[in-house]
Amino acid sequence: MTNTPIKRLTVPNIITKKGKEPIVSLTAYTTPVAQLMDEHVDLILVGDSLGMVIYGLDTTLSVTTEMMIAHGQAVMRGTQRACVMVDLPFASYQESPQQAFRTASRILQETGAAAVKLEGGEEMAETVEFLTKRNIPVCGHVGLMPQAVQMMGGFKVAGKNDESVQKVIRDSHAIAKAGAFAIVLEGVVEPVAQTITQQIAIPTIGIGASPACDGQVLVCDDIFGVFQGFKPKFVKRYAQVGQTMTEAVQQYAQEVRSRAFPTMEYCFQPNKG
């Protein structure tokens, strides 16, 4: 009797979930973490948030294409089932559709991931259309856009006033019309995120948006309680792994200093003739 091969979820599989079973999505950056979540999630994002949670950077702006490829490869090695997409890092795609194509095609070729994600609304619609017409699946990202943190003057919620509401709605429609297969709505006030979800034909994936979105995504280090930096309002801690790790390190340090570890149980002995 042979085991049936595990079939990986595809971009069309994600699209068909629109208005049906919610899409479960998390970020992952390493093989072991990807292995742990593979069975349980539909979509894994290798996010440029790795700059902050893995490398200790203040923003995502210093993340490089090489970093995204290395972590994309690691996640792909750890997954068999989940659909995997990789962020295009800052300054690797905004210059022109041609630049975006070069970056996106390289990432997909070198990682084997299914899709890329890019930030931006109406101003990036031409780029999204350029990529999708050349067989590169694209997930959009509007609302609070971490790569625009300098322009926005910080991490600010979208949809707080009429102008902002109209902008995020226009951005969402523009990216959907351009051919994106899904769109991340980050930091968008709840009623606006719900309206966008009802209006556009592609799945919306919320992060600090609305339970009405077609799916949800969070940063894995946030839900595990590993990342010790700023905790956004929309993050729910599902574990306190960071605290457990700290306690383990403290116990290890105490045992080493008191010579309680290692005992002979953990040491190699010479062969006895």
Other C-beta atoms closer than 10 Å to the C-beta of 64 total 14
Contact 108, 80 (CB under 8 A): no
For residue 215, is it left (φ>0), alpha (ψ between -120 and 50) or beta?
Answer: beta
**48 marked among binding-site residues:** yes
State which H helix or E strand residue 204 sits in.
strand 204-207
**20 marked among binding-site residues:** no
**210 marked among binding-site residues:** no
**162 marked among binding-site residues:** no
The residues assigned a catalytic role are 186
Residue in this structure with the two tokens 């351009």, named with its chain if needed: 178
Report residue 154 as tokens. Answer: 């910080």
**231 marked among binding-site residues:** no
Q: How far is CA 230 from CA 5, 210, 243, in A?
A: 41, 21, 16
Helix, strand, coil percentages for the chain (3-state, nearest 5): 40, 15, 45
> For residue 158, which of 142, 172, 174 has the smallest C-alpha distance?
142
Mark the binding-site residues for 3-methyl-2-oxobutanoate, compressed into ranges: 48-49, 87, 117
Mark the binding-site residues for Mg(2+), compressed into ranges: 48, 87, 119
